[in-house]
Amino acid sequence: MTAWPSIVYPDSLPCAQIKPYSITVDMGLVRTAMEGGHMRQRRMYRTMPHAFALEFIMTPVDLGAWQEWVNVNAYDYFLMPKLESMYSGKLFEIASPHSIRFTGNLAIENVVYGWVRVRVTAELDPLHDALTGPFAPTGDWIIAGTPPMPSADSVIAGRAAAPAVDDVHAGTPGRPSAVVE
């Protein structure tokens, strides 16, 4: 399984509001009219881009720390612990961690004296589905030789006392299927 982003949204900062939280999913459809018969359509991509409209409510004092964290971290992918989407449902959860990054400007408005509302758009990491499964880290080792003497015929997954007898799903160098220590 691929590792989650190393940057995690701090518990000390305000959570995104449940309402008016929204998601826009780009289905990537290209439709072509035909002279006769049904329109033809195809998908532009397999992973549907998700755009989140997030809103945070906080005091102006909290806004200082929040915006400082956002300016440093939120325009690269980070882990937001509790968001709702189809990926939460795939995990049989209402809310789950999501790898996102902010993609828009911060819109800050005064709600009442002493409280501000911050709105921002964010996008889901296109590799988020790879982060959520289907493979979970096991802590098992993959033994395939050493750089000077690589294994040419087999890969043994599992532990030395109990090697795996099923398939090995290795992923890609940039997104391995599991962290191997």
* pLDDT tens per residue across span 121-133: 999 988 776 565 5
pTM of the predicted model, to two decimals?
0.63
pLDDT of residue 149: 66
The predicted model gives 98-120 an average pLDDT of: 94
Reported as a single tens digit per residue, the pLDDT across 50-60 is 889 999 999 99
Q: Over 60: is that where the pLDDT of 74 sits?
A: yes
| Res. 41: pLDDT tops 70 | yes
Is the per-residue pLDDT at 139 higher than 70? Answer: no
Question: Which residues make beta-bridge pairs with 98?
Answer: 80
For the chain, the structural domain boundaries read 22-132, 135-181
In this prediction, residue 153 carries a pLDDT of 57
pLDDT of residue 135: 46
Confidence of residue 164 (pLDDT cuts 50, 70, 90): low
Domain 22-132, classified CATH 2.60.40, yes or no = no
Query: pLDDT category, 157, cuts 50, 70, 90?
Result: low
- HEC profile for the chain? CCCCCCCECCCCCCCCCCCCCEEEECCCEEEECCCCCCCEEEECCCCCCEEEEEEEEECHHHHHHHHHHHHHHCCCCEEEEEECCHHHHHCCCCCEEEEEEECCCCEEEEEECCEEEEEEEEEECCCHHHHHCCCCCCCCEEECECCCCECCCCCEEEECCEECCCCCCCECCCCECCCCC
User: For the residues 135-139, what does the mean pLDDT come to?
Assistant: 51
Q: Which residue has the higher pLDDT, 39 or 9?
A: 9
